[in-house]
Amino acid sequence: MEKITDNIWFIQGLNFDSNSYLLDNIIIDTGTGMNQDYLYSELKTINYNPKDIEMIVNTHCHFDHVGGNYLFEDAKVAIHKDDAPPLEHDNDPLTAATSIFSEAIKRHDVDLKLKEGDKIVNFEVLHTPGHSHGGICLWNGETLISGDTVFSNGGFGRLDIGGNLEDMGKSLERLSKLDVKYLLPGHGFWTIDGKKHIEMANNLFKTMI
């Protein structure tokens, strides 16, 4: 558990788990749910009770980001409206739960279907499709929680699980125009000077199309 800013904590994903971020009483992405003891123990390093999580915000519908939603049974679930249907349906191939992870999602409810411009505390929801139809980033003018749209060191999300080449290009171009200081991705390490890392990803993407 690592403190990034005054109200944002970083939990690095274990094995196939996505990273998770704690924002007040909100957790951003919950991993696969296959490493419950690890996730709970990370929260407890700052004396945080998992039962105090009030909301889960999923950056997209893939199993490695939503599989752990069941670990916070009293929390409401929020995800973009375009990625809600795969999460709500059992064994939907767009979650990649079965095809890639040979697992099943244990929680299918969605309480809040997000859209562009919605607010999560002081973060704005940016709809950034490409890795999935309903992928989102959260942006507060300084910090970008980017899910699997863009990673540190010029990486970006794969396109073969409900992704779209044209959408990814537009999303990377859009994000490259933001003055991002802290880049908090869905996998790997977070970084300072995020704008440079996003520009690297955008430029790399353009060389591949």
Reported as a single tens digit per residue, the pLDDT across 174-184 is 999 999 999 99
Q: What is the number of other CB atoms lying within 10 angstroms of the CB of residue 136?
A: 32
pLDDT score of 6: 87
What dotted CATH number matches 7-208?
A: 3.60.15.10
The tokens of 18 are what?
């996505």
pLDDT score of 65: 98
Low-confidence ranges of the chain (pLDDT < 50): none
What does the radius of gyration of the chain's CA atoms come to, in whole angstroms?
16
- Cβ-Cβ contacts under 8 Å for 158 (sequence gap 6 or more): 131, 148
Domain range list for the chain: 7-208
